[in-house]
């Protein structure tokens, strides 16, 4: 008997870097998809027609990484911006917009990925959280050092159903965040300083975004459920989780 095909999950890669230049996908995303029973495939930026990937994939993860160019959301340059890549911005914004036209392609957006989703839907960002959020907590200890903090999840949200909790400790690694929400997006989790930590798409069958990094907490069953549900929906197109 032929074994069932494992769902293929596309994972957006980081931009070109190094000598010679190469594309990279952090191991946490790959490990998370494999643990959930999926087959991970890297998606390097630069393809002029990202939508064609959707016929090859069963689901997608939009990863973290460097900052979006503030020109993509009407923001201003800032000295703290890093790893800005026009090639990656163009690719991922087009990819997200294509996914939102496909109800049969679930997508999980993580950290930068959540910001890309918001900008793709017409929203904007806090360019640097400490400049615009009063009494901000540490969302990263320093540029390459994540921070752990509490996130409170809306009890009636689909995300709470997936996580199985409304209160969790998350690992963050960012200095930007959603400011004005994009079209059809609703906030469903917050940190103690009021920064939006998760959003859901109101009309897409399975589109969730978290500002934290669940792939850095694979020993936490709550966080692994995000990847397990993504792979499950990629495999069989079950109806999305319903509010409790």
Whether residue 233 lies in the annotated active site = no
**Whole-number Å distance between alpha carbons of 65 and 83:** 8
d(CA 171, CA 180): 23
Catalytic residue among 111, 121, 168, 207: 111
Given 139, 215, 229, 233, which residue is catalytic? 215
Active site residue 207: no
Q: Give me the residues paired with residue 11 across strands.
A: 42, 61
Burial 47-65 (b: 16+ CB within 10 A, else e): eeebeebbeebbbbbbbbb
User: Dihedral sign, CA of 125, 119, 225, 39?
Assistant: negative
174, 213, 229, 233: the catalytic one is 213
Quote the CA–CA distance of 243 and 238 in Å, as a whole number: 15
215 catalytic, yes or no? yes
Active-site annotation, residues: 111, 213, 215
């Amino acid at each position: 008997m032929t074994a069932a095909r494992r769902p293929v999950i596309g994972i957006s890669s980081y931009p070109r870097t190094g000598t010679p230049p190469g594309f990279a996908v952090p191991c946490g995303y790959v490990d998370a998809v494999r643990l959930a029973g999926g087959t991970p495939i890297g998606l390097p930026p630069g393809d002029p027609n990202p939508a064609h990937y959707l016929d090859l994939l069963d689901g997608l993860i939009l990863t973290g990484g460097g900052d979006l160019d503030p020109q993509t959301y009407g923001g201003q340059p800032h000295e703290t911006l890093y790893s800005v890549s026009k090639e990656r911005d163009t690719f991922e914004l087009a990819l997200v917009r294509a996914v939102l036209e496909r109800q049969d392609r679930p997508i999980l957006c993580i950290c930068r990925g959540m910001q890309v989703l918001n900008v793709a839907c017409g929203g904007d960002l806090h360019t640097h959280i400490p400049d615009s959020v009063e009494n901000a907590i540490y969302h990263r200890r320093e540029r390459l050092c994540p921070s752990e903090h509490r996130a409170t999840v809306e009890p009636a949200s689909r995300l709470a159903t997936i996580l199985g909790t409304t209160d969790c400790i998350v690992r963050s690694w960012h200095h930007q965040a959603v400011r004005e929400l994009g079209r059809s997006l609703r906030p469903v989790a917050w940190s103690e300083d009021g920064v939006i930590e998760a959003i859901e798409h109101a009309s897409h069958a399975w589109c969730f975004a978290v500002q934290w990094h669940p792939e850095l907490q694979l020993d936490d069953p709550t966080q692994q459920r995000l990847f397990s549900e993504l792979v499950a929906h990629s495999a069989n197109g079950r109806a999305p989780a319903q509010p409790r």
